[in-house]
Amino acid sequence: MNPETERTQPAGMIFDLKRFAVHDGGGLRSTLFLKGCPLRCPWCQNPEGLEKEPLLWYDPSQCMRCAACVSVCPQNALSMTPANGNSPERIHMVPSACSLCGKCEEACPAAAIEVRGRRIGVQEAVSMLLRDRIFFRDSGGVTLSGGEVLLQWEFAAAVLAGCKAQGADTAIETSLMGPPRAVEELMKVTDHFLIDIKIFDPEKHRQIIGTDNRRILANYEMLLHGNADVLVRTPLIPGYTADDENIRSIARYIVSQDPDARYELLNYNPLCRSKYEALERPYPVDEIRPLSAEEMEHFYEILREEHVPHIIT
């Protein structure tokens, strides 16, 4: 890419790159995570991706309790808190005081503290995503996830166009909460859309997630009218999404829209709990446990009753 083109292309804010991913589309994939999300799902698996801006990230399991970070911080944003009950000694962060200067990250001998989130150009993103392309073979490729990809759709579209130009298969994981223009543009460069429909009732969607789902459903229908390859997914969260009426309604709706619908139910994954600890944020669904095999089977039976043509397990 010539320097002039690079200058005029949008930059993006990212927070992670997952290499050799196996759940973000077909085959082995490289997945780039974009920052910022308009939704607030209480069970969010990537809380570090919610805000658009970078944030300070601390991993207590890596920390050696040397306090090097505390001593270099020019803003006094860090302190060492003593062990308390079951909680071991750890670094306490005051995000409002932090200027994101990165000095703590440089000083840390254990890579336990870092500024997570950085702005990158399109060409750098394409290079990161294609570094492992030798392993993609026929079915793998690159995926953009988040956060919500549609919030940075111009950057995303340029990155995926760059990957496609080099022959890579492209996918997006999205809630579809974004402007129709974003969906329209991304359809031109995206081979597969992995979309979430979490709650069918618009009012319940608004109460739990913070906004109703009309835009999401309209964007889904736009994808279908454009003959996009779409996989619909619902995370099964007891007390929020995992109830018969919700799953039946989503199944009935997608079958009415797409006679060839593909639908995947995702069991609740509690592994993200440690991320909330790292951010010193309360984990809103702390009491919830994954569904048993019998409970999953119960929901699959609903999909069969509603004649979902392709149930992805």
Residues forming the site for ligand SF4 (CB under 6 A): 56, 63-69, 72-73, 75, 77-78, 91, 98-104, 107-110, 112-113, 115
Query: What residues does 118 pair with on adjacent strands?
Result: 14
Shortest Cβ distance from residue 128 to ligand SF4 (Å)?
23
Q: Are 242 and 250 in contact (CB under 8 A)?
A: no
Measured from the CB atom, the residue of 98 and 250 that comes closer to ligand SF4 is 98
Q: Are residues 179 and 218 in contact, defined by beta-carbon separation less than 8 angstroms?
A: no
Contact 57, 63 (CB under 8 A): no
Contact between 43 and 240 under an 8 Å Cβ cutoff? The reply is yes
Cα 100 from chain centroid (whole Å):
23
CA distances from 234 to 50, 117, 213, 219 (A): 19, 27, 14, 16
Q: Closest separation between CB of residue 15 and ligand SF4, Å?
A: 15
- What are 171's two structure tokens? 């996918």
The two structure tokens encoding residue 51: 């805000």
- The answer to whether the CB of 128 falls within 8 A of the CB of 14 is no
